[in-house]
Amino acid sequence: MSGFQAAIFDLDGVLVDSAKAHFVAWRRLADELGIVFTEHDNEALKGLDRITSLRTILALGGRTVADDEMAKLAARKNGYYLDMIRQMSPADQLPGADALVRSARASHLKCAVASASRNAPLLLERSGLAPLIDFVADPGAIARGKPAPDIFLACSAALGVDPVACLAFEDASAGIEAIVAAGMFAVGIGDPEILKGARITFPATSAVDLAALLQA
Ligand code: BG6
Ligand code: MG
């Protein structure tokens, strides 16, 4: 039997198909600002909080703006994003997401979500996953975002589980870095070339072999 007692999931790109909507919303804003922003640029933004993402995009265009303008631009991007995800339903879960969380629960793992997104509670409700999750971290209450370990440590503390007994799932390089810094077992979802620090990587959520992980 494994010593794992908890599973901590990133949301965007791990449980819910929302990563593309973040990209499309950022690209719309970047276009309006006359900044070229590609899917390759977006890869480095995954897992980062909203303001850090905006600062990175502005830097790509060699731009800086005052704090109040930053807030307005971030709100504009969030409006574009919400317009896209407002219609979200359980059909927008990533394939295998519901089954993965249910099998974690069936294996007596407590389940938490560690997402940088302030929209995480809305997405969990809309996608139908909320009843399966014991704790959702509030990124607004956490001082340092990913790649700092804080949001993962907030989850393990809330669940009352030692970080070394946590399996954590991420699709972003910054997220894997955060998991490793938290002292947890990092499971990458995506390209192993991008998620280099992960202990193991699966190409998609649907490909995760939880039984094998629990024997690790
Ligand atoms: C992360 C996404 O989960 O949340 C990022 O990977 C996103 O792309 C970040 O920018 C913040 O999300 P939100 O919904 O608070 O703007
Ligand atoms: Mg993600």
Percentage of residues of the chain with pLDDT beyond 90: 96
Write the pLDDT tens digit of every residue in 4-53.
Answer: 999 999 999 999 999 999 999 999 999 999 999 999 999 999 999 999 99
Q: Quick one: pLDDT at residue 203?
A: 98
Nearest atom of ligand 1 to the alpha carbon of 175? 6
Cα–Cα distance list, 22 to 3, 94, 109, 125 (Å)? 36, 15, 30, 18
Using CA positions, which residue lies closest to atom 13 of ligand 1?
Answer: 117
Strand partners, 6: 110, 166
67 catalytic? Reply is no
* Angle subtended by helix axes 19-33 and 67-85, to nearest 10: 130
Strand partners, 8: 112, 168
Nearest atom of ligand 1 to the alpha carbon of 11? 3
Ligand 1 neighbourhood includes 149 CB (under 6 angstroms): no
Is 184 in contact with 166 (CB distance < 8 Å)? yes
Ligand 1 neighbourhood includes 126 CB (under 6 angstroms): no
Averaged pLDDT of the chain: 96
Q: Is 121 exposed, middle or buried (0-12, 13-18, 19+ CB in 10 A)?
A: middle
Q: Quick one: pLDDT at residue 1?
A: 52
Ramachandran assignment for 172, one of left (phi > 0), alpha (psi -120 to 50 degrees), beta (any other)? beta
Is 197 in contact with 186 (CB distance < 8 Å)? yes
Using CA positions, which residue lies closest to atom 14 of ligand 1?
Answer: 117
Nearest atom of ligand 1 to the alpha carbon of 120? 14
Reduce the DSSP state of residue 72 to 3 states and report it.
helix
CA–CA separation, 111 and 29 (whole Å): 35
Q: Quick one: pLDDT at residue 122?
A: 95
* pLDDT reading at 2 higher than 90: no
Write the pLDDT tens digit of every residue in 99-146.
Answer: 999 999 999 999 999 999 999 999 999 999 999 999 999 999 999 999
Ligand 1 neighbourhood includes 115 CB (under 6 angstroms): yes
Which segments within the chain are labelled E, that is strand?
6-9, 110-113, 135-136, 166-170, 185-189, 200-202
Strand partners, 116: none
| 9-132-115 Cα angle (round to 5) | 30
What backbone torsions phi and psi does residue 138 show, to the nearest 5 degrees? Answer: -100, 105
Radius of gyration of the chain (CA): 17
